[in-house]
Structure 1
Amino acid sequence: MARYVIQSQFTGAFLSPSPDDGMPEWVISLLEAGVLDDIEHINQIVEDHCEPFHRAKVIDLHAL
């Protein structure tokens, strides 16, 4: 199973579903970033919640 995080190349923050309500929010720490596994869901989050200046990058944690 792939494990991904979404990172802003502009700020370095991670876009992650909130543990409280599931709505995406920017967090600074990788430890706080929620790990995602559905690439279609990830693409939708990026499309809906990332401004172009973020230059969002999807990182495969298994490839690190």
Structure 2
Amino acid sequence: MTATKKVKPPTLAEVKKWPATVNVPNAALALGCSRSQLYELIKRGEAPVRTLSFGSRHVVITASLVAVLEAA
């Protein structure tokens, strides 16, 4: 049996200090979902945050992430 390391989600104050865009895994951690869930929501156009796509690469706009977290 392998032990899984539980990563603590960032605080809102920490997220506010992030750069203008962040990668999907970090955004998913802040939102409390898995990166695969967030990628699926992005693919379907249902992500709760604004994203930018560069070919197959996606980034999340931090200001949008902050707005979602503040509304929660």
TM-score > 0.5, shorter chain as reference: no
Q: Give the structure, 1 or 2, with the largest relative contact order (CA under 8 Å, sep 6 or more).
A: 1
Q: TM-score, normalised by structure 1?
A: 0.30
Q: Which has the larger radius of gyration?
A: 2
Higher helix share: 2
The structure that is strand-richer by fraction is 1
Q: What TM-score comes out, normalization by structure 2 length?
A: 0.29
